[in-house]
Amino acid sequence: MRRVKDNKYGYRSWTAEELVRFGKFLILPLIVVILVVVILVWDRNRKDAGETAPTESVSEAETQAADTETEAAESAGEPHEFTTEDYPEIQELMNTYFTAKQTADVETIYRLFGWTDTTGMEALRSQLQYDARYTEGYRNILCYTKPGLTEGTYLVYVSYDLKFKNSLTLAPGLLWNYVKTAEDGSLYLTDSSALTQDELNFVSDAEKMDEIVLLKTQIYAKLRLALEEDADLAESYGILEKQGGAAGAGQSETQHEVTVQIGGAEETAESSEAQETVSAESAAEGSSDASGEAVSEGAEAVSGADTAVSIDSQS
């Protein structure tokens, strides 16, 4: 039906009834459009919040870690005097020493100690060659160094991992040496029997420092766990322990091998006095060599000079 022309365009205007009827058809699409817009805005806000949350979490975690480190440093009671940096020549010296031990290079060992008397050289070579039947070498050698009593002297603790041929598990260890400087400026290792009483006291005091107590505790705990979890490692380790294992000799050929007891044996032992002080009979290689410390079965964790350990003197 044609509309009556009632305007200048030739068509009549919409009536109110027609507008209402037409508006009903527009309401539903309009609602859909509004809902789509709302959903898009909400989704965008949610994504923005998700992107910022991890950053905030990381920031909080870093803050907490920093606080923990600060608290640990404050609770230590004393500044850390040993450093693993600043002395590359010490690290090189110790790397050379451990390489010589593994390859049974006795001549180099004697040179590093400044020994001129060749007595005991062949016995040492034989011992190191025997050790090499069971071991592949020393890994992860790290020096903790502090200046000694006089200029040109250094107290060095060396942590390392010993690799045995029949096991993938590494056996951690620790030794110390009082390094000195020769007249030509070269560094050399010392036999602790040649140290003065003041130098021995200096080492004894260092043994009681928190950072050294913690270092020893961590290494001995790792060693004991390794031996308990790896039967092959424990077997080879026990063989070397009985044979004066991984211990070289020079001159008087006295080496303190510190070992975790295997099979619950009782401590093999020196007196407790040897546990509390650094004796002049300590390692001919100037070390308290930790292939481990002898810890009786069920003993508590090692903690410095007052530990439930024994030091086996190998001659």
Tens-binned pLDDT, residue by residue, of the chain (315 aa)? 555 555 555 555 666 666 666 666 667 677 777 877 778 877 777 766 555 544 444 445 454 445 544 444 444 445 578 999 899 999 999 999 999 999 999 999 999 999 999 989 999 999 999 999 999 999 999 999 999 999 999 999 999 999 999 999 999 999 999 999 999 999 999 998 999 999 999 999 999 999 999 999 999 999 999 999 999 999 999 998 887 656 333 333 333 333 333 333 333 333 333 333 333 333 334 444 444 333 333 223 222 223 222 223 333
Residue 83 lies in a domain: no
DSSP element (H, E) containing 295 = strand 294-295
Q: At what angle do helices 106-113 and 88-102 cross, to 10 degrees?
A: 140
Q: Is the pTM of this model over 0.75?
A: no
Residues 60 and 180 in one domain: no
> How long is the chain?
315
Tokens describing residue 215: 């270092």
| Half-sphere exposure at residue 210, Cβ-oriented, CA atoms within 13 angstroms | 10
Q: What is the pLDDT of residue 292?
A: 39
Q: What is the pLDDT of residue 165?
A: 94
For 222-239, b/e burial (b = at least 16 CB within 10 A) is bbbebbeebeebbebbbb
- Considering 75, 110, 138, which residue would you say is the last residue of a domain? 75
Residues 33 and 134 in one domain: no
Longest CA–CA separation in the chain, Å: 133
In Å, what is the CA distance from 113 to each residue of 159, 190, 192, 284? 19, 6, 11, 9
- Name the residue type at position 315: S
Residue 3 lies in a domain: yes
Q: How many CB atoms lie within 10 A of CB 116?
A: 7
Instruction: Give every CB contact of residue 161 below 8 A, 6+ residues apart in sequence.
Output: 138, 139, 140, 170, 171, 172, 173
- Find the domain containing 228 and state its range: 88-314
Residue 21 lies in a domain: yes
| Half-sphere exposure at residue 59, Cβ-oriented, CA atoms within 13 angstroms | 5
d(CA 261, CA 227): 9
> Which DSSP string do the residues of 227-266 spell out, in sequence order?
HHH-HHHHHHHHHHHHTTTT----TT--EEEE---STTPP
Q: How many CB atoms lie within 10 A of CB 126?
A: 13
Residues 130 and 257 in one domain: yes
Q: What is the pLDDT of residue 232?
A: 94
d(CA 304, CA 302): 6
Residue 82 lies in a domain: no
What domain count does the chain have?
2
* Separation of CA 200 from chain center: 27
Residues 30 and 102 in one domain: no
> Which DSSP string do the residues of 49-63 spell out, in sequence order?
HHHHHHHHHHHHHHH
- Considering 17, 43, 75, which residue would you say is the last residue of a domain? 75
